[in-house]
Amino acid sequence: MKFTKMQGAGNDYVYVDCFAQPTPADPAALARAISDRHFGVGGDGLILICPVESSDGADAEMRMYNADGSYSEMCGNGIRCVAKYVYDHGIVRRDVLNIASGGRNFALEVQVEADKVQQVRVDMGEPILTADKIPTTLPGNPPVDAELTIGERTFAATSVSMGNPHCVIFVDEATDELVHGFGPRVEHAPQFPKRVNVEWAQVLDRGRVKQRTWERGSGETFACGTGACAVCVAGVLTDRTDRRLHVELLGGELQLHWNGADNHVYMTGPAVEVFSGEWPRYD
């Protein structure tokens, strides 16, 4: 099975072109094996680039699996890389591509230099702000600085969904103790029936934050695109930041804009092809 390793702001996945070869029979098992950084290729998960089965106007479908094999509805950094692959490898060549993921279509504007995509601007759509659709049992629609008690600590949590659930916690500093000590505990907290991605966000000023993310099913990652979108939304809801926001991540920087005119969140960031190879088997 041929694969391509790609990354967006350090959020790295193994990509399989299912236009050119069969779809893996057991993508969850493949994700667990191929994502292993010691015994596999290594990555935050597996992304399949698939032909669209229904005539919904999409150029391709992204199917994303976390490193633990669990399916995820959306990945903001991953979908930028899918757009780069689709354009660079000649599957579809247009300035704006439509990629399906998790039952939704996303418009991606590619920025090309020397015939290769360098940056991608994604229309991430409207944030989901209704608690039972996020889903979370925290109070509020959406929960804004709601009390979330995890063991001996109580946090002010703002929860939104960008097609996948997020819990944003603003802190003075995103320490290892918070990210690794409390991140997995928040992910599995009973207030989040489908588990949750956890963003620890440090506000530098109204236009810039630092973010570390504990991703559902993958642990800490170098970047989380949907998480950066969630931080942008949460910053506005809590009046900590403006609608245009630069987000500093371990692997790079993303630019966010929660547009008040259409209520959509727009994200711009890099997409990089690292290398290609061949996996010895299908799982």
- Taking phi first (over 0 means left), then psi (-120 to 50 degrees means alpha), and beta for anything else, what does residue 114 get? left
Rounded distance between C-alpha atoms, residue 211 and residue 167, angstroms:
12
Judge whether 18 counts as a catalytic residue.
Answer: no
> What SS3 state is found at 122?
strand
Catalytic residue (one of 75, 81, 167, 232)? 75
The candidate with the shortest Cα–Cα distance to 70, out of 161, 194, 189, is 194
Give the separation between CA 202 and CA 127, rounded to whole angstroms: 21
Q: Scanning the structure block, which residue is given the tokens 């939104």?
A: 160
CA 52 to chain centre: 21
Angle in degrees, CA 66, 67, 72, rounded to 5: 5
> Which residue in the list 81, 167, 224, 232 is annotated as catalytic?
224
CA distance 276 to 114: 20
Residue 270 three-state SS:
strand
Tell me which residue has tokens 């509805």: 73
Task: Based on the residue annotation, tell me whether 167 is a catalytic residue of this protein.
Answer: no
> What distances in angstroms separate CA 36 from CA 8, 67, 260, one per listed residue?
19, 7, 41
Place of tokens 């490898």: 89
Q: Give CA angle at 261 (255, 264), nearest 5°.
A: 50
Q: Do residues 202 and 169 lie in contact, with contact meaning Cβ atoms separated by under 8 Å?
A: no
Helix (H) or strand (E) holding 110: strand 104-113
Residues designated catalytic: 75, 224
